[in-house]
Every structure is written in structure tokens, then in C-alpha cells.
Amino acid sequence: MLFAYNDDGRLEVVADEAEARRSFEATDVETGVIRFFDSRGEPLAPRFPQRSPKKFLGMSFSSDPGPFELAPAADAEETLIDALGPAVVLMKNRWFTDIDAVRAHLGGSG
């Protein structure tokens, strides 16, 4: 289970990395519009191992970062419980009925 936090205040819960790749555009992930957290609320950093080379005079210019992978963030970034504000909307999912259930799962107060 992964949490996907959209910068517009929506929180989505997906089963795994494969579902995350199907559900979210790589460009949104690369720019930080979508941030991922593991099931404990710890931040995950996207990596783009198949990034298309950006050439200029040699042509082959593409802004598509390619598929992403997620790994624990190396930097001390904020956890999901820190990121959750009062205006978060939890999208329908099979794990949590409301945002308070997410906060309880993460060990925070509602």
C-alpha cells in the first residue's frame, strides 16, 4: 500500500508501485505535483532509470521522463502525517473510510 499526495489536497491510496505508475503521469511525479509515501507515511523518492536522453542538435528531444520507480527518500523530508493539512480530501479506496482513519493508521491525532 502506498499513499499518493496531490498538491491540490487529494490523498489517494494505491496497492503498489505498479498501480501508482498506471494511475499517475510520470511528469506529475517528476515535478512534485504527486508525492508518494510508504504504508508508514515515510517519504518515497521517484527515480527515472529509463529517462529518454534530451538532445538538442542531435535531435531526439523528449520531455517524457519515462516510467518511475520509488525508493525511500535519502533526505529528511516531511512524513505524510506532517503533510496532511485540514483540507485534505481522501479519495475512495479499499483501505480507509476517511482521513481520520489514515491519521490513526499513521499514529497521528485526528
For 57, the grid coordinates are 542538435
Sequence-separated (6 or more) residues with CB below 8 Å from residue 49: 66, 69
Question: In this predicted model, what pLDDT tens digit does every residue of 26-51 receive, in sequence order?
Answer: 989 999 999 999 999 999 999 987 76
Question: In this predicted model, what pLDDT tens digit does every residue of 57-73 receive, in sequence order?
Answer: 555 555 666 789 999 99
pLDDT at 110 over 60: no
* CA pair distance 57, 86, nearest whole angstrom: 49
* CA pair distance 41, 96, nearest whole angstrom: 14
Sequence-separated (6 or more) residues with CB below 8 Å from residue 77: 43
Place of cell 511525479: 29
